[in-house]
Amino acid sequence: MTNPKFEIRNPKQIKIFKILILILFSASCFGFRAFVHAASSTELSSQIENVRREREELVAEQRRLQAELEKVNAESQTLGTAVKSLDTTKKKLAADIKVTQSKISSTDLSIKALENSMTDKEEKIGAHEKAIGLAIQTVSRYDTRPLWVDLLASANFSDVWRDRTQLEGLSATLKDEVDNLRETRNILGEEKKKKEEAKKKIVNLQGELKGQKVVVEESQKAKERLLAETKNKEAEYQKMLAENLERQRQSDADLFRLESELKITLDPSLIPDARHSLLSWPLETIFITQRFGRTAGAARLYASGSHNGVDFRASQGTPVKAMLSGVIEGEGNTDEQRGCYSYGRWILIKHGNGLSSVYAHLSAPLVRAGESVETGQVIGYSGGTPRVFGSGYSTGPHLHVGLFASQGVTVRQFTTSKGCKQVFIPLADVRAYLDPLAYLPAI
């Protein structure tokens, strides 16, 4: 008794069978490649997890140093405290740099993982498109031929029915395969977007890292300059603080006199109504040290008797974020002219809603005039530590934020000042100053 054999004699069956084999072979080949890529993806995932755990430890150290720095800055103003603050700031910034480097490494690994996944999907699409193309041609050719033509041309009716059944099965398989490929393409498109976002994040992080290194260098120079100018004596340090205060009062009087003389026609319809959360906070952690307007501190410190912005507590090197998207209208540093006690390093952003914001006493900028920025984007680092280049007039680390009606502010040279003739700063009609807290989130 002979064993039954599976035989395909009909040429149409042979062609359909070959196409099915081609589809299955393509799928199996892709499965092998996917297995190889899965091994490398697992390794990348392990590396990403290791970097994440290391960063958690770095962040914990970062927080400890931040708390230590805030404690030092809360102490009375003495030479010893100033030196201790600069030393602690240097340690804190070193921790910040390590955290940023960790973020760069993690993002870079994420990009590699995305590239692996994208390669898998591109190979899958390519392998199946060829097989599907052949199958579609075959199905289309048979579907356009009437059944009675096949019946007349065939010597065996059962072969015709078998062909038709196999074709229906092939059509169903193709439909599933096409649906899978469509989904794969959609996922591939999303992964490409994620990769572009990650690449943009890398660029931003590299910019932040560069800025952090500048802050470290400036802090070290400030310590050396402070010890040299005071001759490491407390009496000299206190004398320096008193002189700085007097020069700042003179600069403020010059500014108030000039801005009071400006007569810019303001159109109220171009100024947005005060509304909380129209702007976002410029810092991650918010602690207000001086409000806008006629505060007790303003009456003591400023010729106008009014504080033209809001001061936030921020240690040297704290990331400063744009409160709203816009274009950098200008940036500069009043410390470039010795004896000019003003904004120090500043950035002015013109927003598209009729408002402009200024960020002052910065230790390092990350943007340049003409660049566009987004809400929440890091634009620089806070400063304010006395004797650090870019601090301007400041008795301690902090961030000063001012808000203007855009139509009433312009960047110009402060030629009428006695001590700041060579510098450029934002100058505004006093009526153009607005209270930032009226537009920031409610406290």
Beta bridge partners of 318: none
Closest CA to 97 of 148, 61, 69: 61
How far, rounded to the nearest angstrom, does the alpha carbon of residue 371 sit from its chain's CA centroid? Answer: 14
Euclidean distance between the first and the last CA atom of the chain, given in angstroms as a whole number: 93
The reported pLDDT for the residue numbered 322 is 97
The reported pLDDT for the residue numbered 416 is 80
Collapsed DSSP state (helix, strand, coil) of residue 135: helix
pLDDT in tens, 22-68: 555 555 555 555 555 555 677 878 888 888 888 888 888 888 888 88
The CATH class, in words, for 233-438 is: mainly beta
Closest CA to 67 of 249, 313, 393, 238: 313
Kindly list the distances between the CA atom of residue 276 and the CA atoms of 279, 433, 441, in Å, as whole numbers in the listed order.
7, 17, 5
Other residues' Cβ atoms within 10 Å of the Cβ of residue 440: 21
The reported pLDDT for the residue numbered 361 is 94
Kindly list the distances between the CA atom of residue 16 and the CA atoms of 139, 144, 147, 185, in Å, as whole numbers in the listed order.
9, 16, 17, 27
Q: Taking a C-beta distance cutoff of 8 angstroms, is the pair 305, 348 a contact?
A: no
Kindly list the distances between the CA atom of residue 54 and the CA atoms of 12, 68, 93, 98, 101, in Å, as whole numbers in the listed order.
62, 22, 17, 10, 11
pLDDT in tens, 327-361: 999 999 999 888 787 899 999 999 999 999 999 99
The reported pLDDT for the residue numbered 439 is 96
Domain boundaries, given as residue ranges, for the chain = 11-206, 233-438
Q: Taking a C-beta distance cutoff of 8 angstroms, is the pair 125, 185 a contact?
A: yes
**φ, ψ (nearest 5 deg) of residue 320:** -110, 130
Which amino acid appears at position 157 of this protein?
A: F
Choose the weakest-confidence range: 154-168, 221-235, 252-266.
154-168
Confidence of residue 4 (pLDDT cuts 50, 70, 90): very low
Q: Taking a C-beta distance cutoff of 8 angstroms, is the pair 19, 135 a contact?
A: yes
Q: HSE (CB half, 13 Å, CA atoms) of 177? A: 23
Exposure string over 104-122, b if 16+ CB within 10 A, otherwise e:
bbbbbbbbbbbebbbebbe
Q: Taking a C-beta distance cutoff of 8 angstroms, is the pair 412, 424 a contact?
A: yes
Distance CA 268, CA 205 (A): 40
Distance CA 303, CA 251 (A): 9
Distance CA 169, CA 94 (A): 65
In sequence order, the 6+-apart residues with CB closer than 8 A to the CB of 261 are none
Which amino acid appears at position 365 of this protein?
A: P
Other residues' Cβ atoms within 10 Å of the Cβ of residue 3: 4
Distance CA 139, CA 188 (A): 28
Closest CA to 247 of 427, 438, 392, 425: 392
Q: Taking a C-beta distance cutoff of 8 angstroms, is the pair 440, 323 a contact?
A: yes
Confidence of residue 17 (pLDDT cuts 50, 70, 90): low
Distance CA 366, CA 370 (A): 13
The reported pLDDT for the residue numbered 113 is 84
pLDDT in tens, 180-204: 777 777 887 888 888 898 888 898 8
Say whether pLDDT at 273 is over 90: yes
- The whole-chain average pLDDT of the chain stands at 79
The reported pLDDT for the residue numbered 288 is 93
Highest mean pLDDT among 50-64, 136-150, 255-269, 284-298: 50-64
Collapsed DSSP state (helix, strand, coil) of residue 223: helix
Angle at 137 between CA 132 and CA 141, to 5 degrees: 145
DSSP annotation of 430 reads G
Q: Taking a C-beta distance cutoff of 8 angstroms, is the pair 340, 302 a contact?
A: no
Q: Taking a C-beta distance cutoff of 8 angstroms, is the pair 379, 319 a contact?
A: no
Distance CA 195, CA 203 (A): 13
pLDDT in tens, 420-433: 888 899 988 888 89
pLDDT in tens, 116-163: 887 877 777 776 666 666 666 665 555 555 544 454 455 454 554 555
The reported pLDDT for the residue numbered 232 is 85
In sequence order, the 6+-apart residues with CB closer than 8 A to the CB of 219 are 86, 89, 90, 93, 316, 317, 363, 385, 388
Choose the weakest-confidence range: 79-88, 102-111, 344-353.
79-88
Distance CA 207, CA 67 (A): 26
Distance CA 222, CA 387 (A): 6
pLDDT in tens, 365-423: 999 999 999 999 999 999 988 778 888 888 788 999 999 999 999 998 888 877 788 88
Mean pLDDT calculated for residue range 17-24? 54
